Chains A and B, each alone.
Chain A
Amino acid sequence: MPANLAAAAKAAPSSDETPAISVKDLRKCFGDHEVLKGISLEAHKGDVISILGSSGSGKSTMLRCINLLETPDSGEVRVDGELIKMKPGPNGNQVPADIRQVERIRANLAMVFQSFNLWSHMTVLENLVAAPTHVLKRPRAECVEQAEELLKRVGIWERRNYYPPHMSGGQQQRAAIARALAMNPKVMLFDEPTSALDPELVGEVLRVMRSLAEEGRTMLVVTHEMGFARDVSSKVMFLHKGEVDSLGEPKEMFARPPTQQFKQFITNFNK
């Protein structure tokens, strides 16, 4: 830990812009299985980073460690330069030192889930208004107005009074993206947003994500969509067995795979 802090202190002045997300040496075990073996990542404002890897490579776990849905065993996470403070827990693991800080930071890191996870007892509009009014404490009228705008943008304004279980997967995921946007987040975290969708519904969600990338949103996207990774993202990160195997500019990565693993990974995908 002190070594990490020293490295961070050294690194900080050299970059003139504070990274939106900075992850250093993240480690996480589930039982005996080491899922993350020291992962580091930096995302600057406007970066769209696609995180690729076969299942079990640790990509979702890494994303979930950033907003503390999983507690990393060690390593540090900074959001906009602010370190998420940890303290030793009861079982020798570490736990968040200040849950209020974690909640405040989570509100800046809106997440889009594989299985949408909209609140099923609320209408779509209520889903978009709940967190901004109660967590960010913004005036309700303003939140409703913004929510309606966002629903128009993702093309499901007509469904604003529907309950999520009454909509298709694609519509639910677009609603979930709108719910994330309603937080005006600094960074958006996408955890396999198209993996639970029927193939014919993937396109509508990817179109929304592409438009977000084009307007300069900072996004971390765990995905299996090679087209999105290659054409939309600004960086591609490939995880293999809990380690960063390769990281680079997408066109370059896909044209000349830097490692044997990544080459094999994309070859398998194109089969």
Chain B
Amino acid sequence: MEFLSNLQEQLSTAYELLAAGWGVQLLWGIGWTLAVTTVSMAIGALLGSLVAAAKLSHHAGLRFLGESYTTVFRGEPELLVIYLFYYGGTQILTGVARSTGSIGSTDILNMPSFLGGVLAVGIISGAYQAEVFRGSFLAIHRGELEAARAYGMSAWLRFRLVIMPQVLRLAVPGLGNVWQLTIKDSALISVTGVAELMLTANKAARSTHHSLLFYTVAGILYLVMTSISTPIFDKAERYTSRSFLRPK
């Protein structure tokens, strides 16, 4: 009985804290998390397709560069890459700005936290996406590429009409996986000061001393985001692979 009334008390405190403004802050946190993830995915898609192309190239030098990229950025801890970009970026920016005299010799020019964060997460995401794109390209039926050549298509037309649509189709399941990884990586950029969900939960937990409450709520919110994306990617997969599913 005492336990129940205790729980009731706990819940009402939680409600008060969330209603007092932390709830809205957490919602903003979700917004920033989704923004960071989306922009990072886009940067990763661009880098990933270039790296995949490099890894598939006939040119040994390009292949080496592509291999190095995926080896390094999949092999390093994400947090290290973020520190490297954020603090390293700040150091480089400050050095350049001081030497050109645009800031004083003791001033510091910070790496913009959002930019530094999405670049770091995007580069990591790109390493995983490169593997997804490469695998998808290799899964295209060789004969279809040959037919595209035999019908006089230029390299660009072959890419646009045959390779890209098929790579996208085959890549959707893998990209869903990378999207989940990237949502989770986005929590790490709280160290740069972007007020995404992790940082907001952290702030709330520290200033109210209700760590259990806020980390649990944040945990649930992350789980909601990652599990909502599964059916969305499933649907996208059904759409893009419609030519291979049994017709109704």
Contact = CB atoms under 8 A, between A and B. Distances in A.
Interface of A: 67, 69, 99-100, 103-107, 109-111, 113, 115-123, 130-131, 134-135, 162-166, 179, 183
B153 interface: yes
Interface in B233-247: 242-244, 246-247
Most chain A CB neighbours (cut-off 10 Å) among B150, B157, B166, B246: B150
Contact of B147 (A118, A134, A135): A118
B60 to A, nearest CB: 12
B144 A120 contact: yes
B150 A134 contact: no
Determine the main DSSP class of B at the interface with A. Answer: helix
B161 to A, nearest CB: 6
B183 to A, nearest CB: 29
Interface string B138-169: 00010110111111111001000110011001
Contacts of B141: 117, 120
Most chain A CB neighbours (cut-off 10 Å) among B161, B162, B166: B161
Contacts of B169: 121
A130 B157 CA distance: 10
Contacts of A135: 151-153, 157
B161 A165 contact: no
Contacts of B143: 113, 115-117
A118 B143 CA distance: 8
A119 B154 contact: no
Nearest to A102: B152
Given A121-B169, A130-B161, A131-B153, A113 B146 contact: yes
Given A118-B144, A135-B157, 10 more contacts: A106-B152, A111-B147, A113-B146, A116-B143, A117-B144, A119-B162, A121-B165, A121-B243, A135-B153, A164-B243
A263 B165 CA distance: 49
Given A134-B157, A135-B151, A69 B146 contact: yes
Given A135-B157, A163-B242, A117 B152 contact: no
B106 to A, nearest CB: 56
B243 A120 contact: yes
10 contacts: A111-B150, A117-B141, A117-B147, A119-B147, A119-B148, A120-B144, A120-B244, A121-B169, A134-B161, A165-B244
Interface of B: 141, 143-144, 146-154, 157, 161-162, 165-166, 169, 242-244, 246-247
Given A121-B169, A130-B161, A162-B247, A106 B151 contact: yes
A232 B220 CA distance: 72
B142 to A, nearest CB: 9
Contacts of B242: 163
Nearest to B157: A134
Contacts of A105: 152
A96 B242 CA distance: 38
A221 to B, nearest CB: 16
Nearest to B244: A165
Given A120-B141, A164-B243, A183 B146 contact: no
A164 B244 CA distance: 9
A120 B141 CA distance: 9
Contacts of A111: 147, 150-151
A160 B153 CA distance: 22
B29 to A, nearest CB: 39
Nearest to A109: B150
Contacts of A179: 151
A245 to B, nearest CB: 27
Contacts of B147: 111, 113, 117-119
Contacts of B247: 162-163, 166
Contacts of A165: 243-244
Contacts of A134: 153, 157, 161
A99 B244 CA distance: 33
Nearest to B153: A135
A110 to B, nearest CB: 7
A100 B141 CA distance: 25
Contacts of B151: 106-107, 110-111, 130-131, 135, 179, 183
